[in-house]
Amino acid sequence: MKRFLLHIAGFLVLFLLGLIVLDWGYTYTFKHAAPRNKLKYAMQMDETTYDAVF
pLDDT tens-digit profile, the chain (54 residues): 999 999 999 999 999 999 999 999 999 998 888 888 888 887 777 777 767 666
Give pLDDT, residue 53: 64
C-alpha 11: how far from chain center = 22
Q: pTM surpassing 0.75?
A: no
5, exposed or middle or buried, with CB in 10 Å at 0-12, 13-18, 19+?
exposed
